[in-house]
Chain A
Amino acid sequence: MNLNAVWTIYIFEMRRFFRTITQSLISPVLSTSLYFVVFGAAIGSRIQEVEGVSYGAFIVPGLIMLSVMTQATSNASFGIYFPKFIGTIYELLSAPVSFLEVVAGYVGAAATKALFIGVIILITAFFFVDIQIAHPIAMMAFLVLTCVSFALLGFIIGIWADNFEKLQLIPLLVITPLVFLGGSFYSITMLPPVWQTITLFNPVVYLISGFRWSFFGEADVAIGVSLLAIALFTGACLAIIWWIFRTGWRIRQ
């Protein structure tokens, strides 16, 4: 195991993040604040409590998930797409590194950035609404797992993409709708029965539900099921990445 290489990639990627720290942090904080103002204060004040929690507090886990998932995906996909785009990928391919080391470096860095942003949003939330975290350790665990699994997904997108449009395609067309329809802003028990069943096919439901449980102790689906879902998702991403490096798909002819 070439741990030095993992660390080198990780630090190199993190430096990119810190070079653009202002825009990296200001935009998620600003957009989250807007959500709080609009949904929490303006509209939320007219919505009754959801599952015994004020609506403003109820949307906090969903908002964090929304940002964390999109950030993890876009950071990881850009991280590996950029070397392909500018040609520096030759270095990774000719270095004594295996796919595990490359993935650990890029995905680790992307997940760290997303985690960073998730925590910042959580801190921002404290300024707007009154929230308590029922299970802090489980909350962090869910957050970290989500960051890692979506960074893995982003890595796959970055390898697959051969132009900048494709890089944006999956986050815009798949992840954002799934997160919005996955109960970020509502409890799925509020839906008609048919839609409740359909929603269960949305993997993001399990993540948001589990994450919300760690805040309020209430969940739409059982916590064990949530953990299983995230484990399956991570496993599937890892399997795809393993296949990519085994076959050299889109990176090594």
Chain B
Amino acid sequence: MSAIVSVNNLRKAYAGGFEALKSVNLDIEEGEILALLGPNGAGKTTLISTICGITVPTSGIITVGGFDTQTQFRAARNLIGLVPQEINLEPFETVMNSVSFSRGLFGKPRNDAYIEDVLKQLSLHDKKDSKIMTLSGGMKRRVLIAKALSHEPRVLFLDEPTAGVDVELRKDMWEVVAGLKASGVTIILTTHYIEEAEAIADRIGVINKGEILLVQDKADLMAQMGQKQLKIELTDSVDVIPDGLATYDLERAKDGLSLTYSYDTKGERTGITTLLNDLQKVGLHLKDIQTQQSSLEDIFVGLVKEEP
């Protein structure tokens, strides 16, 4: 597969001196779904905005489909569709007019049949003559996607498509993205939900403080990120971890009132059942148990620490 978007040594510093992107290199392959994971303020939106032409790079070169986004901006932007993070829509316009407007901006002649297909794909067809202000939040977000698809782009950027969206709608959105991928569109989405990246991405890039920390196949990364912890609270404190539990990866709390068991959700067996059985065998009584997954923040801390 060849790179459809190529970002080389991209740096973006704002007038105040803040460096939003520090020498970013990234190749996005045609037909893939790349999820960019990162906490708020990591530079995700700046990266997308710079590729799409909303922000001017301080230095570095970006090509889309082989076209330089600065010197051949028309050819490059023709290939790109952008779904922004904020719901930015003209409230008094109808869905149809708003989506057709986007298509026209890209120099394409009006094509109602194509637009209606897009609206059908996004379950918006029955709302095509409704004013945007009358739509629900989830529908508005889908209007943004329809606008981004209106000119038949080959690369689609989705900036936090599911931020503030309820679970059901999030699943809908994932289906939409899967459908787009099936139609051959390359998709780059930003998110700070691990589950989202896990559900739909082929590759995952982690970005923090303006730097891409890693770009990996989802399967590889998920194996690393799949660490979970089971916290076992005991009715009576223990001074040492009993010998019968020596085979488990257990950590004793200082007060001896709880044990923490680390396990891999991606492994064939989590070992939880046998652990619970063995706890009973050694005569420990459980007060409560809870599981916690290492949060994205933790993983970032881990990733940043690993850097020399």
Contacts and interface: CB of A to CB of B under 8 A. Distances in A.
Interface residues of B, number: 34
A91 interface: yes
B107 A4 contact: yes
B74 A94 contact: no
A5 B106 contact: yes
B78 to A, nearest CB: 5
A2 B74 contact: yes
8 contacts: A3-B107, A88-B89, A88-B90, A90-B82, A92-B105, A93-B54, A96-B77, A253-B14
A94 B104 contact: no
Interface string B66-95: 000000011101101010101011111100
Contacts of B142: none
A190 interface: no
Contacts, number: 78
Contacts of A9: 104-105
A86 B88 contact: yes
Contacts of B107: 2-5, 96
A7 interface: yes
B97 A15 contact: yes
B186 to A, nearest CB: 16
A91 to B, nearest CB: 6
> What secondary structure prevails in chain A residues at the interface with B?
helix
B105 A97 contact: yes
A4 B108 contact: yes
Given A88-B90, A253-B56, A7 B84 contact: no
B267 interface: no
A242 B56 CA distance: 17
Contact of A252 (B54, B86, B88, B93): B54
Interface in A30-79: none
A3 B90 CA distance: 22
B226 interface: no
Interface in A85-110: 86-88, 90-97
A76 B204 CA distance: 44
Interface in B34-91: 52-56, 73-75, 77-78, 80, 82, 84, 86, 88-91
Contacts of B86: 87
A248 interface: yes
A88 B88 contact: yes
B218 interface: no
Contacts of A12: 93, 97, 101, 104
